[in-house]
Amino acid sequence: MGQEARLAVILVNWRSAADTIECLETLLRSSIPVQVIVCDNDSADGSAEMIAAWASGGTRVQLKNSRLARLSDGALERPVAFDHLQPGQTLEDGPRKRLTIIETGGNLGYAGGNNVGLRAALQNPAVTHFWLLNNDTVVERDTAARILACFETRPELGMVGTDLRLYGDPERLQMQGGLSFDKWTGRARGIGAGRSIFDPLPADRVEQEADFICGASMTVSRRFLDEVGLLEERYFLYYEEIDWAVRGRGRFRLGYCPDAVVYHKEGASAGSSSGSERRSELSEYHHTRSRLIFGKLHYPALLPLYFAYGMALALRRSLSGNRTKAIAILRASFGLPFIKR
**Per-residue pLDDT tens digits for 187-234:** 999 999 999 999 999 999 999 999 999 999 999 999 999 999 999 999
- Average per-residue pLDDT for the chain: 94
- pLDDT score of 270 more than 90: no
Residue 256's pLDDT band (cuts 50, 70, 90): very high
Q: Could you give the CA distance from residue 109 to residue 114 in angstroms, rounded to a whole number?
A: 8
Q: Could you give the CA distance from residue 258 to residue 79 in angstroms, rounded to a whole number?
A: 33
Q: What is the pLDDT of residue 267?
A: 52
Higher pLDDT, 235 or 62: 235
- pLDDT score of 101 more than 60: yes
Q: Contact at 8 Å (CB) between 39 and 9?
A: no
Residue 78's pLDDT band (cuts 50, 70, 90): confident
Q: Could you give the CA distance from residue 116 to residue 135 in angstroms, rounded to a whole number?
A: 15
**Per-residue pLDDT tens digits for 127-184:** 999 999 999 999 999 999 999 999 999 999 999 999 999 999 999 999 999 999 999 9
Which residues, 6+ apart, have CB-to-CB distance to 193 below 8 Å? 173, 174, 175, 274
Find, among 67, 58, 65, 52, the residue nearest to 17 by Cα: 52
User: Residue 73 in 3-state DSSP?
Assistant: coil
Q: What global pTM score does this model have?
A: 0.94
Which residues, 6+ apart, have CB-to-CB distance to 4 below 8 Å? 33, 126
Query: Which residues on adjacent β-strands are paired with residue 187?
Result: 182
Q: What does the DSSP 8-state code read for residue 31?
A: S
Q: Contact at 8 Å (CB) between 150 and 160?
A: yes
Find, among 94, 100, 103, 58, the residue nearest to 76 by Cα: 58
Strands 34-40 and 7-13: parallel
E strands within 244-283? 253-264
Q: What is the pLDDT of residue 325?
A: 96
Query: Which residues on adjacent β-strands are paired with residue 10?
Result: 37, 132
Please, what are the domains in the chain? 7-264 (3.90.550.60), 276-333 (no CATH)
> Could you report how far apart the first and last alpha carbons of the chain are, in Å?
48
Q: Could you give the CA distance from residue 88 to residue 76 in angstroms, rounded to a whole number?
A: 31
Find, among 215, 132, 142, the residue nearest to 174 by Cα: 215
**Per-residue pLDDT tens digits for 12-57:** 999 999 999 999 999 999 999 999 999 999 999 999 999 999 999 9
Which residues, 6+ apart, have CB-to-CB distance to 52 below 8 Å? 82, 84, 101
Percentage, residues of the chain above pLDDT 70: 96
Find, among 90, 97, 101, the residue nearest to 13 by Cα: 101
